[in-house]
Structure 1
Amino acid sequence: MMQHIILSHKEIEHKTKRIAYQVYETFANDSELIIAGISSSGFVFAQKIAKQLEIISDIKITICEVNINKQNPSDTITTSLPEEAYANKNLVLVDDVLNSGATLIYAIKHFLNVPLKKFKTAVLIDRNHKKYPVKADFKGLSLSTSLQEHVQVVFEEQNSYVYLS
């Protein structure tokens, strides 16, 4: 199967920084922010955004891992922080790729059980194939693909990349 590189390591770093600046602009008047990443690649991307935010701002950043069954997103969702830790706080929910929107919308539903001050979403790749009415507030790249194509994000220390197969 052919792989086409969509984003190189350097391009991912650039898009991560740009998203971090957009997040900072949105929350510049706030002192605290929760960055919640959907487990595995979304969590890695959340950590990268959080690291950039710590460099460019004095906002207190707390990272949270969101565990969701991507094959059956209606299963119970758990987080690495108790609900009290993000209640009445600002939160950015992060994933690597927004495909149909199912994972993101079920994760959003989980966080809506707790009152939040402000709630935004961020993704590295938005594929424009949504089955659910969900959007990314911050996105690295919008990509129109066929439903048969697959977008994969690979996060490695010095060689991260995104490819289409």
Structure 2
Amino acid sequence: MMKHIILTQQEIEHKTKRIAYQIYETFSDEKEVVLAGIATNGYIFAQKLADELNAISDLKVTLCEVKINKQNPLDKVAISLPAEEYTNKALVLIDDVLNSGTTLIYGVKHFLEVPLKKFKTAVLVDRNHKQYPVKADFKGLSLSTSLKEHIQVVFDTEEAYAFLS
């Protein structure tokens, strides 16, 4: 299986910074923003965005992890924060790759059951092959691929990259 690098560590860092600025511009009238990262890579990406936001803004950034069973997305969604801590707040749901849209749409569905001030989505890579009508408000890279191709993001302690296989 051939790996084709589509994002290097430097490109991921650049795109993370750019998305952080977009989030800050969108939520500049807020005091706090909740970054809800979908486990596992979405949460790591949310942590990177939180670091950037803390460096460039005075927004209070609250992180939470969203666990969705990708094999059975109808299972209950688990959130690392109680609902009271994100109710009536600005929230960004974050994942690493938007493939079919299944994971993101079930995450969106969960958060629509709680009143929010503002709600946006962010992904590092948008694959443009969606089964559901969900879009990323903030995206690092938009890429049209065949249905047989797979995109994977790797967040190692030493390096980060995304590849197409």
**TM value normalised by structure 2:** 0.99
Please give the residue correspondences for 1:110-129 in structure 2 after superposition, counting only pairs within 5 Å. 110-129=110-129
Structure 1 gap ranges (5+): none
The equivalent residue for 2:49 is: 49
Count of residues paired in the alignment:
165
Q: CA deviation at 1:114?
A: 0.4
Q: CA deviation at 1:72?
A: 1.3
Which consecutive segments of 4 or more residues in structure 1 shift more than 6 A?
A: none
Q: CA deviation at 1:101?
A: 0.4
Residue type of the alignment partner of 1:57: S
Say yes or no: does 1:152 pair with 2:143.
no
Q: CA deviation at 1:32?
A: 0.5
**Residues 9 and 158, structure 1, Cα contact 8 Å, conserved in 2:** no
Residue type of the alignment partner of 1:141: L
The equivalent residue for 1:67 is: 67
The equivalent residue for 1:96 is: 96
**TM value normalised by structure 1:** 0.99
Structure 2 gap ranges (5+): none
The equivalent residue for 1:28 is: 28
- Secondary structure at the counterpart of residue 44 of structure 2: helix
Residue type of the alignment partner of 1:2: M
RMSD: 0.5
Structure 2: distance between partners of 1:103 and 1:163: 20
Deviation string 1:52-110 (CA, Å, 9 cap, x unpaired) is 00000000000000010111111110100000000000000000000010100000000
